[in-house]
Amino acid sequence: MDKIELVIFDMDGLMFDTETLSKGSWKIVGEKHGFIFSDELFNEVIGLNIKATENVFKQAYGDDFPYVQLKEEKNKIMMEEIKKSGIGIKKGLKECIKYLKGNNILIAIASSSRRATIDFYLESANLLNEFDFIISGQEVANGKPSPEIFLACCEKLNVKKENTLVLEDSINGIKAAYDGNIKVIYIPDLVKIPEEIEKLTHQNLTDLLLVPEFIENINKVNCKNQG
């Protein structure tokens, strides 16, 4: 395996425990407006960008489903909760970032969320200035499971795909990395991925705390081989 020079983080469910909060907020909004949202629906939209998510909701509830209005209500509920209680940071995130920065490995975020949401979450976690590049789902023509968002990170930071590692928790994110020929580590959140998706991953780890050791081992081997 090639030396790792760039690590790309997904955000929701990977860096922050926001998928649970999002799901609960959607259910509150749904009850208010007379909609019942199934767990299967939430599983389907994890990792999708805003437009693709809207399409899934409209396929399930009809073309007149007021997605934009309800999403804004859902976002307000989430934002208020985060302002009140803080954002849930996933195990090992800060240790992982510290290791990567300390070893001169570039770090990026490639998230399907809006840029304003990404910045709000990072600011809430005191991580706003830690990343070398951040790209949102709004900034690419094709969201996950297209690999475009990950390839944009490689291009912007001038790192080859072979020297890049993606960290993901969703089916759509794993597909995107695989289709872009970028190695991907699966770190589970809410949804257990099916076996056929698991086969697309390079490695499965239980949490971000284990990522530094994984990279350390790869880069040590590459140093020895070069020596």
pLDDT tens readout for residues 110-122: 999 999 999 999 9
Q: How many structural domains comprise the chain?
A: 2
pTM over 0.85: yes
> Domain check: are 42 and 138 in the same one?
no
CATH of the domain at 146: 3.40.50.1000
Instruction: Give me the DSSP letters along the chain.
Output: -PPP-EEEE--BTTTBS-HHHHHHHHHHHHHHHT----HHHHHHHTT--HHHHHHHHHHHH-TT--HHHHHHHHHHHHHHHHHHH---BPTTHHHHHHHHHHTT-EEEEEESS-HHHHHHHHHHTT-TTS-SEEEEGGGSSS-TTSTHHHHHHHHHHT--GGGEEEEE-SHHHHHHHHHTT-EEEE---SSPPPHHHHTT-SEE-SSGGGHHHHHHHHHHHHHHHH-
- Whether 154 is in a domain gets the answer yes
> Domain check: are 79 and 159 in the same one?
no
Please compute, for residue 151, the number of CA atoms within 13 A of its CA located in the half-sphere on the CB side: 14
pLDDT at residue number 156:
98
> Domain check: are 202 and 219 in the same one?
yes
- Tens of pLDDT along 124-176? 999 999 999 999 999 999 999 999 999 999 999 999 999 999 999 999 999 99
pLDDT at residue number 190:
78
Which stretches in the chain have pLDDT values below 70? 224, 226-227
> Domain check: are 49 and 113 in the same one?
no
- Whether 1 is in a domain gets the answer no
* Domain with 31 in it: 19-85
- Whether 133 is in a domain gets the answer yes
Alpha-carbon 176 to chain mean position? 11
- Listed residues 38, 70, 85: the one ending a domain: 85
